[in-house]
Structure 1
Amino acid sequence: MKLASIAAVLALSAASAASAQAASDWRAPNPDNVLVVETNKGRIIVELVPEVAPAHVERVRDLAKAHFYDGQTFFRVIDSFMAQTGDPQNNGQGGSDKPDLKAEFLFRRGAGYAPQGKIGATEIGFVGPLPVYSQNSALAAMTADGKVAAWGAFCPGVLGMARATNPDSANSQFFFMRQHYPSLEKTYTAFGRALTGLETIRAIKAGEPVVAPQDTMTTVRLLSDIPAAQRPSIQVMNTASPAFTALVDKRRAEMGGAFSVCDVTVPVQVK
């Protein structure tokens, strides 16, 4: 083989290896766990995280499949806080005909958790795109199941379930976070995060209640229920990948002592 040919083969091999490594940093989310929310302000694509709150994910998935959310409005929107919807009465008093849900404020940290260091004594990480806090891993040796408790961080774009005073009163209403609101953590259920559309969430008309006309979710569909030819193609950076850890480390260095898990955006590619 000529020297030039050998060089070409080596270059091609190196390029293939780089492509394979780059491809391993990305994943296609399960289409049964992706909500495509079309609003009058734009599209929001959400990944649901059943590892964190399985009953809440199942409820929202079932209601979306039944077109329950189509046409519902954002009836309570606080600018520096969240945008609430999911009520057929559009006033915060309604729900579905399904029973209320048990709280899933905490979950037992297991497979799927991608650690990303600590802030003080609290560990931080991700489950899919969802940022989470957890107890120190060292405590796992003292628990019956060998796991520790973890909970979702209510960062911008995170999807949370609304409820009344009773912790077990969530039903169909949910909210999109517009800003980080740590006082919700461990007291409300986080069950997903917007992969795209944070600018849409922040553009929704604010008010408590919102005066007419309120902004509307025209359709809410699971990605798996959209005909294949019409589905957006979605790739999400794997939060357990070296590339994502490098991104977190870079952001931590930039922010210094002010660093928060909410300062990290999970890269997404949509076609």
Structure 2
Amino acid sequence: MGAIGLACAATFFAGSAFAASPGYRDVDAENTLVIDTSKGRVIVEMYPELAPQHVERMKTLTRKGFYNGLKFHRVIEGFMAQTGDPKGTGEGNSDLANVPAEFTIRRDTAFPINVIDETRGVITGYVKAMPVQTQPNALTAITKDSKVGAWGLYCSGALGMARAGDVNSANSQFFLMRNYNNVLEKKYTAFGMTLVGLDVVRKLKLGEPPVDPDTMVKVQVMADIPAAERPKIEVMDTGSSEFKALVEAKKKEGRGEITGCDIAVPVKVLP
């Protein structure tokens, strides 16, 4: 992988509401979490295309109020911030059954990936704002299911599900990446991206556990927030010509080379 890049870049606008920006899309409110922490607000969009069971678990626990008040019990400099444990020790979970691993998916050629690069037999692209890699389409001609593997990348801001040694032991604990780390890829389920508040994630108190740890004060599914109170966000469409121009500019900077973690997907937070 190449240079570490921010997962997303938020741009704040004053004045009148900004609507229907060329090259942008609305966030998926039903699959977006609004996490108000003791350090500020974090907004994370999740992608059921990559890990439907993990997305459903996060929404179920959020709607139960399970995450409200829980500590960030493990925050490591240059790595990630972990939370979701009611015990605050890293040993607790919800009372729901564990979630099976969704480290990778099997996709066909119609699966919506916005490709930015294809080198050394690996396609790099995006599922909405989530950087992913996948085997090339040509391999679908020789696989038994006519599909190939794909997986999310652990770029800065990525949402991943924590687990114990058993690969199928994910339950309620999750983490947000403070920086890029490819060691986790295809070993832990990656299924979301921080759209707003990566700076907040990086301000959380460090430690394993931290002294007087920061907390998630309140966690909500964006769709459950009244429309008048809901954060107004637009994300650049990674299939748009505007995003393709960003990719080409970044390739020129890198002498033709690019990774999924090199592009900061622009985000507009509207008044």
Compute the TM-score of the two structures, normalised by the length of structure 2. Answer: 0.88
22-31 or 94-103, which deviates more: 22-31
Root-mean-square deviation over aligned CA pairs: 1.5
Which residue is equivalent to 1:157? 157
Secondary structure of residue in 2 paired with 1:262: coil
Partner Cα separation in structure 2 for residue 192 and residue 26 of structure 1: 18
d(CA) in 1 for partners of 2:120, 2:39: 39
Which amino acid counterpart does residue 134 of structure 1 have in structure 2? T
Q: What is the alpha-carbon distance in structure 1 between the residues aligned to residue 171 and residue 88 of structure 2?
A: 14
**2:30 alignment counterpart:** 32
Distance 1:56 1:258, change over 3 A: same
CA 1:238–1:257: 2 relative to 1, 3 Å? closer
Moved more, 50-59 or 146-155: 146-155
Separation in structure 2 between the aligned mates of residue 34 and residue 80 of structure 1, nearest angstrom: 25
Unmatched segments (≥5 aa) in structure 2:
1-18
Shift of 1:258: 6.3
* Residue 154 to residue 39, structure 1, CA distance change in 2 (3 Å): same
2:96 aligns to what? 98
The letter for the 2-side match of 1:156 is S
Query: Matched residue pairs, number?
Result: 250
State the partner residue of 1:56.
54
Larger radius of gyration: 1
**Distance in 2, Cα, partners of 1:157 & 1:165:** 24
CA shift for structure 1 position 23: 3.9
Listed as ranges, the gaps of 5+ residues in structure 1 are 1-19
Distance 1:88 1:160 in 2: 18
TM-score (norm 1): 0.88
Matches within 5 A, 1:5-84: 23-84=21-82
Task: Between the two structures, name the one with larger relative contact order (CA 8 Å, sep ≥ 6).
Answer: 2
**Does residue 237 of structure 1 match 2:240?**
no
Query: Any idea what the Cα deviations from partners look like across 1:205-231, whole Å, max 9, x if unmatched?
Result: 1112212x1001101101111111100
Deviates more, 1:166-175 or 1:244-253: 244-253
Question: Counterparts of 2:22 and 2:87 in 1: how far apart (Å)?
Answer: 45
Q: Counterpart amino acid of 1:223?
A: M
| TM-aligned CA deviation for residue 256 of structure 1 | 3.1
**Distance (Å, rounded) in 1 between the aligned partners of 2:27 and 2:239:** 14
Q: Deviations over 1:178-218 (max 9, x none)?
A: 1111010010000100011111111111112212x100110
Give 1:174's aligned residue.
Answer: 174
- TM-superposed CA distance for 1:257, in Å, is 6.6
Distance 2:188 2:98 in 1: 14
Residue type of the alignment partner of 1:104: E
Shifted more, 40-49 versus 109-118: the winner is: 109-118
1:186 equivalent in structure 2: 186
Distance of 1:177 and 1:52 partners within structure 2: 17
Question: Any idea what the Cα deviations from partners look like across 1:81-108, whole Å, max 9, x if unmatched?
Answer: 1000001111101111110011000012
> Counterparts of 2:67 and 2:136 in 1: how far apart (Å)?
39
What amino acid does structure 2 have at the position aligned with 1:122?
Answer: V
- Residue identity in the other structure for 2:195: L
Distance 1:42 1:256 in 2: 38
Deviation at 1:136, TM superposition (A): 1.5
- 1:128-167 paired onto structure 2 within 5 Å: 128-167=128-167
Q: Give SS of 1:108's match.
A: strand
Q: Distance in 2 between matches of 1:146 and 1:245?
A: 28
